[in-house]
Amino acid sequence: MTDSFADLPIRPRSLIVGLWIRRAVMTALALVVLLALVNRFGQRPVHSITRSPAATMRLTAPDTVRGGLFFQSLVEIRAAQAIEHPRLVLDDGWLEGMQFNSIEPAPVGEASRDGRVVLSYDALDRGDVLRIWMQFEVNPTNVGRRSYALALDDAERPVARIARDITVLP
Amino acid sequence: MDLVFRTAFVFLLILVVTRAVGRRELSSMEPFDMILLVVIGDLVQQGVTQSDYSLTGATTVIATLALLTVLTAWLSFRVRRLRPILEGEPIVLVTDGRILERSLHRQRMTVEELVAEARQQQISSLDDVRFAVLETNGTISFATK
């Protein structure tokens, strides 16, 4: 009867190759975890700030998100001068493929300007602070990079602008 | 980042729970245990990924679990003192035909279950057993006289 173990090599070459492949795969997986830890896959909020003689505007929102995630965008406006008709102008990345769950305080008016959404608020006196909380959920099919720019206008007159992008990972 | 921490927490939680539940319960799956396992899996998924439907999130979770599994195995291999915590130790249940009631009691195991295990290994009497050992994977090894 043939010995079924006789043909088996003690240390086959495939075993050594396989070991190195496993190590390479584990290194790649470790790299994925490392990138996640340093926030390359999104979710953590990033602060952007812009100052003009009339106002300081601060935007706190993640710049990278993933499908299905809930996230918050917080806009804070500190008026250095009176702004009679404060209007926030949102670029397409704010709403394209995003589920807009809530906005507090709600704007007194909404409109469209050259395809962008305009939110109107009550007048701000010098030293007033307007904080707006917006809650979103990312549509899982909304993959890509879009402009997440935000402008503050006094009626039609530009006051401050934050230029940002948002990346939705697959 | 949150995904990695949530995955690591759940990994540790499952490790603690499986060690606390005991190896016998986990090795002998009744239909109820099987359903419970599926329910736990579903709850764990919700806790880890939450509302995340992305491939990026799934990749991050799987990578974290793979790393933690390899890390645990490596620690168990390299650090002898950690082995009983991470994997447990074999427990002697029978020695020279004598049943160690205390060991059985600690594992919430009855003599009938032990005898049934012996029968499945073609051992008709525990008097013929030199050693019966509950292994770390929950199976019982028998050495006959």
Domain ranges of chain B: 2-86, 91-144
Residue A2 has pLDDT above 70, yes or no: no
Whether the CB of A133 is below 8 Å from some CB of chain B: the reply is no
User: How many angstroms away from the CA of B20 is the closest CA of chain A?
Assistant: 29
Residue A7 has pLDDT above 90, yes or no: no
CATH class, domain B91-144, is: alpha beta
Residue A26 has pLDDT above 70, yes or no: yes
CB contact under 8 A, B63 and A68: no
Question: How many residues are given for chain A?
Answer: 170
When pLDDT is averaged across residues A46-65 and rounded to a whole number, the result is 94
Yes or no: say if A161 and A111 are a contact pair by the CB < 8 Å rule.
Answer: no
When pLDDT is averaged across residues A116-134 and rounded to a whole number, the result is 95
Tokens of A84: 């009679």
Alpha-carbon distance A64 to A131, whole Å? 22
| pLDDT in the model for residue A104 | 94
Model pLDDT for residues A60-105, shown as the tens digit of each residue: 999 999 999 999 999 999 999 999 999 999 999 999 999 999 999 9
Domains of chain A: 45-169 (2.60.40.3670)
The interface pTM score, or ipTM, of the predicted complex is: 0.78
Count CA within 13 A, CB hemisphere, residue B67. Answer: 20
Residue B86 has pLDDT above 80, yes or no: yes
Average pLDDT, chain A: 92
List b or e across B10-30, with b for residues whose CB sees 16 or more CB atoms inside 10 angstroms.
bbeeeeeeeeeebbbeeeeee
Q: Give B26's pLDDT tier (boundaries 50, 70, 90).
A: low
Average pLDDT, chain B: 88
Which of A38, A43, A66, A98 is best to mutate for the B interface (most B CBs within 10 A)? Answer: A66
Backbone dihedral region of A97: left (phi > 0), alpha (psi from -120 to 50 degrees) or beta?
A: left
When pLDDT is averaged across residues A27-47 and rounded to a whole number, the result is 92
